[in-house]
Amino acid sequence: MAKSTSKAKPYPAAGSKAPAFSAPASDGKTVKLADLKGKVVALYFYPKDDTPGCTKEACGFRDAFDKLRTAGIEVLGVSPDSTSSHRKFIDKFALPFRLLADEDHGICEAYGVWQKKSMYGKEYLGVARTTFVIDRDGTIAHVFEKVKPDGHEQEVLDWVRQNLN
């Protein structure tokens, strides 16, 4: 059963400890934040697999993947979709990074991205497109709010190069 809250939690602030998580990934493994210590993580939250904006954002990270990896950045996408949906999305667009399934919205809620949204006059709960850069010690180094998919991967890369390398 999906959890839903009517009042969004605020995003964890830059400088605070990143909320711990454990989630099934598209590669069949479980990803835990604790296991990523020592790496810079770009944890990007997006609403839904294989939709226009989400595809544009994922393909941007795909196209910049070698540069991101060279800069020491581990890219992880998070959405409420299942691992099966993630695998189809990865296969369709040749995405070289893992996607985490957050079907109960627990990670989204912990990071404050499960929010009230509206479209065509209807309100609903959904993912606010947001990226957290988590440093090698597990601290939130930067929060990109209200992300626009076009060129976002370059924003992340530039920020990490200027601030964490």
- Go through the domains of the chain in sequence order and give each one's CATH number: 36-163 (3.40.30.10)
Q: At what angle do helices 52-63 and 83-93 cross, to 10 degrees?
A: 60
pLDDT, tens digit (0-9, with 9 covering 90-100), for 15-52: 999 999 999 999 999 999 999 999 999 999 999 999 99
What is the C-alpha to C-alpha distance for residues 102 and 31, in angstroms, rounded to an integer?
11
Please give the Cα distance from 78 to 162 (Å, whole number).
25
Burial, 98: exposed, middle or buried (Cβ in 10 Å; 0-12, 13-18, 19+)?
A: buried
Evaluate if pTM is beyond 0.85.
yes
Q: Enumerate the active-site residues.
A: 54
Max Cα-Cα span within the chain: 44
Per-residue pLDDT, averaged over 54-79, amounts to 98
- Looking at residue 7, the DSSP 8-state letter turns out to be S
Tokens of 11: 């995003």
- Specify the pLDDT at position 165: 78
pLDDT tens profile 120-141: 888 989 999 999 999 999 999 9
How far apart, in Å, are the Cα atoms of 107 and each of 21, 111, 116, 121?
6, 6, 16, 27
**Token pair belonging to 118:** 């509206």
What's the full length of the chain, in residues? 165
pLDDT in tens, 94-109: 999 999 999 999 999 9
